[in-house]
Structure 1
Amino acid sequence: MAETQQSNTESQPKGAGKPQKERSWIRMAIFGVLLGVGVVWGGMRLIRSFSYVETDNAQITGNIYPVIPRVPGKVVEVLAEDNQTVKKGDILVRIDTSDYQIRRDMAEAQLLRARAAVSAAQAEIVAAGATQRKLGADLRRSRNLQQQDVISRAELDAATAGATASSAQHAAAGDNYKAALAQAKLAEAELKNAELQLSWATITAPADGKISKKSVQPGQQVAPGQQLIAIVGSGDLWVVANFKETQLEHMRPGQKVIVRVDAFPGKEIDGHVDSISAGTGAQFTLLPPDNASGNFVKVTQRVPVKIVFDKKPELPLAAGMNVIVEVKVK
């Protein structure tokens, strides 16, 4: 038995345990490196946690402009396409203008009639004024003649009555002229209103941006207040980050912010805190919590913080994208 063990020992080559020791040292070295990296990384994160506050409860937000008709009618043409970039004033939708053109033509005819009435009233004033001046002169002559007993008292009374009637007619003509002017102004207003409604039948983009939601097709009957298209403003995107209330102790407007977009890993965008909301997000829900009723459960609230970019990002950002933000508070 001893001879067998001795022969096995002798059969093993010299240095057979050396690779095992080398592998053990390599594993220890790798473990040491990883441990060192972990300690350094953890230390950096710990130090960073004292200077930055972070949240992933944040999204890119932008101004969304609704495209809403101001007059009812049948859609005859839709010039907008999904995800199309548009400029302010670009024509998006056309509504049938037949009824509105007829109303405008009727308003124009009414205005012409009103202006003709004004001209007639002016002529009436001129005629009444001439008659008034003539009968007034006749009355003065009649008085002189009556004092000289050339005419009778009855003839003087007739001249007086004629002069008085002419004065009343002149005043009435003036009133008719004022009424005709009022009707003309009303007709002008009705024409402007008809032209305005006709112009509203052509719906244009309210701002520069990209069409993100289109729910209108030719042949559709639309009504005022009905949203047809939504346009996301192209030049005014920002971030709304919902920080815990416990993270706001040292946060102030103007502080530097680093924004990382989930859609573009490894990319960072510089920004700064623009403003902090005056209320928590829960206060603006449909049914805000009422802690005075029922059993009270304390829950950490989140406060919206508006963050704007220092310059327009080159990345193709879209409203609603998720982001991670870090605010340098110290």
Structure 2
Amino acid sequence: MSNTNTKTKTNKTDRIISRVTTVVASIVVICLAIWGVKTLLHQWKFEETNDAQIDEYINPVVAKVTGYVKEIRYEENQEVKKGDTLVLIDNSEYAAQQQEADAALVNAEAQVSVIQSNVNTAGEMAKVYQSQIAAAKAKLRNQEQEYDRYKKLYDVESATKQQLDKVEAALEVARSDYNTSVGAYNAALAKINDARVQQSALQAEIKRRAAVVEKNNLTVSYTVITAPYNGKMGRRTIQPGQLLQAGQTLAYIVDWEAGKWVVANFKETQIRHMSIGETADIVVDAYPGRTFTGKIESLSGATGSRFSLLPPDNATGNFVKIAQRIPVRIRLNGTPQELRALSAGMSVNVSVSKVRR
């Protein structure tokens, strides 16, 4: 009787375990079927890849002049705004050159005033000589008439040779005075022309020195290095007192104003359904519960391997066909504040519909 009861209980337990196992297996099969159907439907509707990363412009901050670092006003990974001062370079030498250029420009401008004064003086002297010419000309005309009268008198023997010689000498003096006045007037005009030529040359020199002043002002301004746009600084590699060379990279800054995009490397068999302007769904590994959107901006003109340092050459004895990947650039939608959490280099999954939306 005891054995019969034990067998009955065992059979009941087996039946319960069998039923539970059947139910669990059915649930698992149903879940797998649902998952498989959803996966197949998704793959039928979308082309997707996980070979994708977020990218954005990361530009170097470069020194334009040589000098010692005077002060550093940023820290690593610090957020900065356009115009914020990042680095100060000692500008003592450049400031002295700037003062020298300013003084040279002031001196050249003062010389213009001197030359202008010389032009005015020469002009007044020319007026004086011009009035003297008129007086000398009148005197010469009078002496010529006097000589003609005495010449006629001498011809009729009404005047002596001595009187004629005296009048002739006075005529020569008057003619000489006239020529002297004309020569002085012409010399005054020549001085005016010379002064004006010097003035033109000096004006050109002033422009050159003004350009030197502007260049020195720019050089001094280059000793203050500012943020070119809103962004975030990278790793700091310089120290106060360090000698910088012109063209040396001081730091890197992430440009937040230029936007962000995704470079997705799709297989060459996937891009036939893609076109510029098409919408893409993007899931960032760092934020799996959030989906971003973007638009295809461009498709690469060649496979990624063609842009590598050593492009593959298949003209060899051994060849294995491998599906190549085409870089697709996708511009992320959203404001800079909405995309602030995304950083360059983050891995993402990208899905693009096979049917144009």
TM-score of the alignment, normalized to the shorter chain, above 0.5: yes
How many residues are aligned here?
323
Match of 2:239 among 202, 211, 217: 217
Give the letter for the 1:317 counterpart: L
1:251 to 2:245 alignment:
no
Structure 2 unpaired stretches of 5+: 145-170
How is 1:290-329 mapped onto 2 (pairs within 5 angstroms)? 294=316, 297=319, 298-312=321-335, 313=338, 316-329=341-354
Closer, same or farther: CA 288–148 of 1 in aligned 2, 3 Å: farther
Distance in 2 (alpha carbons) for counterparts of 1:315 and 1:75: 31
Give the letter for the 2:353 counterpart: K
Distance in 2 (alpha carbons) for counterparts of 1:265 and 1:274: 24
Distance in 1 (alpha carbons) for counterparts of 2:34 and 2:279: 25
The residue aligned with 1:66 is: 60
Match of 2:128 among 117, 134, 155: 134
> In 2, are the aligned partners of 1:79 and 1:93 still within 8 Å (CA)?
yes
How is 1:179-328 mapped onto 2 (pairs within 5 angstroms)? 179-235=201-257, 236-289=259-312, 294=316, 297=319, 298-312=321-335, 313=338, 316-328=341-353
> How large is the RMSD of aligned CA atoms in angstroms?
2.1
The residue aligned with 2:167 is: none
Q: CA deviation at 1:128?
A: 1.6
> In 2, are the aligned partners of 1:121 and 1:180 still within 8 Å (CA)?
no
The residue aligned with 2:155 is: none
Match of 1:109 among 103, 111, 115: 103
> In 2, are the aligned partners of 1:77 and 1:93 still within 8 Å (CA)?
yes
Q: CA deviation at 1:202?
A: 0.8
> In 2, are the aligned partners of 1:118 and 1:184 still within 8 Å (CA)?
no
TM-score of the superposition, structure 1-length normalised?
A: 0.90
Q: Which moves more between the two structures, 231-240 or 175-184?
A: 231-240
* Counterpart secondary structure, 1:253: coil
- Provide, for residues 125-174 of structure 1, a one-character-per-residue CA deviation record: whole Å limited to 9, x for no partner: 11122222322333344334323336533222222221221121111000
Fraction of identical pairs, as percent: 34
Distance in 1 (alpha carbons) for counterparts of 2:61 and 2:142: 86
The residue aligned with 1:176 is: 198
Distance in 2 (alpha carbons) for counterparts of 1:95 and 1:200: 8
How is 1:158-173 mapped onto 2 (pairs within 5 angstroms)? 158-173=180-195
* Counterpart secondary structure, 1:265: strand
Closer, same or farther: CA 113–46 of 1 in aligned 2, 3 Å: same
Give the letter for the 1:110 counterpart: A
Closer, same or farther: CA 137–269 of 1 in aligned 2, 3 Å: same
Q: CA deviation at 1:119?
A: 0.9
Distance in 2 (alpha carbons) for counterparts of 1:57 and 1:120: 76
How is 1:22-61 mapped onto 2 (pairs within 5 angstroms)? 22-61=16-55
Closer, same or farther: CA 289–144 of 1 in aligned 2, 3 Å: farther
Q: CA deviation at 1:12?
A: 3.1
Distance in 1 (alpha carbons) for counterparts of 2:101 and 2:85: 26
> In 2, are the aligned partners of 1:213 and 1:231 still within 8 Å (CA)?
no
Distance in 2 (alpha carbons) for counterparts of 1:290 and 1:166: 85
- Provide, for residues 70-89 of structure 1, a one-character-per-residue CA deviation record: whole Å limited to 9, x for no partner: 11100011111011100010
Structure 1 unpaired stretches of 5+: 1-6
Closer, same or farther: CA 53–132 of 1 in aligned 2, 3 Å: same
